A and B are shown apart, each in its own frame.
Chain A
Amino acid sequence: MRRTPEPIAWTGHVLILAVACIFPFVFPSPFMVNFGVLALFYAFIGQSWNIAGGFAGQLSFGHVVFFGAGAYASTILQVRFGVNPWIGLPVSAVAGGLVGWLIGYLSFRAGLRGSYFALITLAFAEMLRIIANSVEITGGGLGLLIPAKPSVANFQFPERVGFYFLILVLVTVSIAIAIWLKHSRFGAQLAAIRENEDAARALGINVFSEKLKILILSGALGGIGGCFFSQYFLYIDPIIVFGVDKSVEMLLVSMIGGAGTVYGPLIGAVLLAAISDTARVVTNIQGLSLVIYGGLLILIIAFLPNGLIDLIQRLTKRRPK
């Protein structure tokens, strides 16, 4: 973000992907594969936040709204109507995208920016949480239980490693989107909007429609994340999929790793998963990992405002010269 982007460095991307592919074979224990799945899952939903919040500057406090919409869309279809969850996957993307369109249309039309936009997303998330809590089709506060029928055709991989590779594919797609944003005209326009909306408008950028587009895309990714989450844990309820926790996690992994960067969410996610697993093994205090994570965020904002990726870049830049 700080310097003119060079041509895409494919070797670096391929190397990272290769490491991710080998990981479950080097560490085949269920504990480690589960760690990998969670890290990649956070990376994916973090990237969903990042492409709107980091690349386009549309910071949201309630990004879980897209995630929850996707989770409920596919799970209701499956549990209530017997629709195969593989069909639910694209449906959840559409659901997340639709919610993105709705929130974007209303708030961007009204000219809400910055913290006002952030609060609107939070309000929508809370609204949907209360609705999900009160209507029958969502199972209310009891939530929805997906019956366990392990088979690949049913989106329930008998081996955890299946989930690992599925989420790896999703993360790869989301990173490809981020790379595209970094190098495309669309991405340049979003960066301009993030930095200064009036100046962007003056240069001929249709600020409203560009912001709407990115929020739909971000919402669709969030929705897919929701579908994956439901299938992995086989249970959702309003607090899990519309609660503030996930929104915070999404923006934390991006900001700690580096908002507006391609690999920021992945770096932040690996760290979050590592801290959360360690905290669970060492103590059994609920939510301790987020306390540690919050403290880390303060340190990072104070010393590395561009995220951990900045530190990594500084270290690797110095060595060759």
Chain B
Amino acid sequence: MLAVNNLTKRFGGLTAVDHASLIVPEGKIIALIGPNGAGKTTLFACIAGFLSIDEGDVQFLTTSVKGRPVHEIARLGMVRTFQITQPFSRLTVHENIAVGAFQRYRHRKEAFAYAHEIAQQVGMGSILELPAAGLTVAMRKRLELARTLATAPKLLLLDEVMAGLNPTEISEIVDVIKNIRAQGVTILLIEHVMQAVMGLSEYLYVLSYGKIIAEGPPADVVRNPIVVEAYLGHGATGGDSGHA
């Protein structure tokens, strides 16, 4: 469904993403992990069209989306969320989600009805009329998810939807994500929280200093000494501290 080939992004002299390639097959949950500053969010921004690509290509469905504007990519069915949540603050939860739903439905009644449905699906059905500005972090993350989901995407790019959440909130949102996948939406997620990624994804890519340094099923990847080293620093592979 999505194929990223040798994608490179430079900021002046700094190469933020260095010939990264990855593949997201339809119907899967694929995770992209890596230490802070590895370039995960930059890679996401390049894929979704927010940043220009210096080298390489992004294939979505059957076409190249390199150089196409964000809104066109979104209309093709690839929609991202933001790590730092970007709610429409002065609109209510319902209106926020309806903006997404309006991409699918022309009429207000249908869009709001669909937005209501989506809200219930992500557990926001009881706070529809609250303004988005007053939501907790956990609820803002859900709102990001709901809004993008309401556009009826084919591929969701989730940028750290679990960051800053407590374990209960994480397990709740993991269920929501599993539920989304069950409806046939393919998911590529960036995550820091290892525990969540292990339970969710079928395949993992590890990014470090802009390069993909490892890939494979989660159970294999976490045992990979290169990965452990990238996360915990040189020498960490010697002991039994590889349970990060």
Residues of A whose CB lies within 8 Å of any CB of B are 1-4, 183-185, 188-189, 191-192, 195-196, 198-207
Is B5's CB within 8 Å of the partner chain A?
no
Q: What string of 1s and 0s marks CB contacts (under 8 Å) between B121-139 and chain A?
A: 0000000110100000000
Known: A192-B99, A196-B86. 5 other contacts (CB 8 A): A188-B98, A189-B99, A189-B102, A200-B88, A202-B148
Q: Indicate whether A188 sits within 8 Å of B95 (C-beta atoms), given known contacts A199-B86, A203-B151, A204-B103.
A: yes
Inter-subunit contact B99/A200 (CB<8 Å): yes
Name the residue among B82, B86, B106, B111 with the largest chain A CB count within 10 angstroms: B86
Expressed in whole angstroms, the minimum distance between the Cβ of A264 and any Cβ of chain B is 15
Among residues of A, the one whose C-beta sits closest to the C-beta of B105 is: A185
Inter-subunit contact A195/B100 (CB<8 Å): no
Q: Indicate whether A2 sits within 8 Å of B90 (C-beta atoms), given known contacts A202-B74, A203-B103.
A: yes
Is B179's CB within 8 Å of the partner chain A?
no
CA distance A202 to B99 in the complex (A): 11
Inter-subunit contact A196/B87 (CB<8 Å): yes
CA distance A2 to B147 in the complex (A): 18
Chain B interface category by residue count: 35 or more
CA distance A201 to B69 in the complex (A): 9
Expressed in whole angstroms, the minimum distance between the Cβ of A28 and any Cβ of chain B is 42
Which residues of chain A are near B79, meaning CB under 8 Å? Answer: 202-204
Is B171's CB within 8 Å of the partner chain A?
no
Which residues of chain B are near A203, meaning CB under 8 Å? Answer: 74, 79, 99-100, 103, 147-148, 151
Q: Indicate whether A204 sits within 8 Å of B129 (C-beta atoms), given known contacts A185-B106, A188-B99, A195-B91.
A: no
Q: Indicate whether A4 sits within 8 Å of B99 (C-beta atoms), given known contacts A184-B108, A202-B79.
A: no
Which residues of chain B are near A185, meaning CB under 8 Å? Answer: 102, 106-108, 111
Name the residue among B71, B81, B90, B112 with the largest chain A CB count within 10 angstroms: B71
- B88 touches which of A183, A184, A199 (Cβ 8 Å): A199
Is B94's CB within 8 Å of the partner chain A?
yes
Name the residue among A183, A195, A201, A204 with the largest chain B CB count within 10 angstroms: A204
Is B48's CB within 8 Å of the partner chain A?
yes
Is B70's CB within 8 Å of the partner chain A?
yes
Q: Indicate whether A3 sits within 8 Å of B129 (C-beta atoms), given known contacts A188-B95, A191-B88, A196-B87.
A: yes
Which residues of chain A are near B95, meaning CB under 8 Å? Answer: 4, 188, 191
Q: Indicate whether A202 sits within 8 Å of B91 (C-beta atoms), given known contacts A4-B112, A189-B102.
A: no
Q: Which 7 A-B pairs have the closest CB atoms?
A: A204-B74, A195-B88, A199-B86, A192-B99, A201-B70, A204-B75, A185-B102
Among residues of A, the one whose C-beta sits closest to the C-beta of B153 is: A204
Among residues of B, the one whose C-beta sits closest to the C-beta of A195 is: B88
Which residues of chain B are near A189, meaning CB under 8 Å? Answer: 99, 102
